[in-house]
Each structure stands twice: as structure tokens, then as C-alpha cells.
């Protein structure tokens, strides 16, 4: 993975994390105001953004593992 690819993946993680935080704030608001279905829908969006972040981190970790050399 080139450093440019790494930077792109990290930019994607940042964007997804910002969306995750926004949905979490909205979900909390809906739950506080008793709008449970809307809160639940936004909670699912939180999970979707988390999964997107996890996918990018997994790719970074796989690349790192493929190139790293264990040293004792």
C-alpha cells in the first residue's frame, strides 16, 4: 500500500467518523424526545459508519501484517 493509499484510507476513516458522530448525536436527541423509531434508525446508521471504518482499518492492518517482519 503506498503512502497515498494509506492517506486516502485515513481520509475515508475521518469522513466516516464524522458522519458516525453526527448520527449518534441525532439518535441521542430522538431518544431523549421519545422518538424511538427515528432514534433507532439513526443508530443503525451509526453502525453502518462504524462498519465502513472497520473495513478501512482491516485493510490497513492486513497490509501492515503482510509487510511487517517479526523481530525477537
Query: Would you state the cell numbers that stand for residue 35, as one nine-digit string?
Result: 422518538
Write out pLDDT tens, residues 6-48: 999 999 999 999 999 999 999 999 999 999 999 999 999 999 9
Give the span between the Cα atoms of 12 and 53, in whole angstroms.
8
pTM of the model: 0.86
pLDDT of residue 16: 98
Give the span between the Cα atoms of 46 and 28, in whole angstroms.
11
With contact defined as beta carbons under 8 Å apart, do 49 and 19 qualify? yes
Residue 66: pLDDT over 80: yes
**Closest residue by Cα to residue 9 from 48, 68, 62:** 62
Residue 51: pLDDT over 80: yes
Q: Residue 55 phi/psi, 5° resolution?
A: -60, -45
Amino acid at each position: 500500500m503506498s503512502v497515498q493509499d494509506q492517506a486516502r484510507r485515513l481520509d475515508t476513516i475521518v469522513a466516516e467518523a464524522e458522519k458516525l458522530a453526527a448520527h449518534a448525536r441525532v439518535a441521542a436527541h430522538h431518544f431523549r424526545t421519545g422518538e424511538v423509531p427515528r432514534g433507532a434508525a439513526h443508530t443503525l446508521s451509526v453502525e453502518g459508519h462504524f462498519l465502513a471504518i472497520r473495513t478501512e482499518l482491516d485493510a490497513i492492518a492486513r497490509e501492515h501484517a503482510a509487510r511487517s517482519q517479526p523481530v525477537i
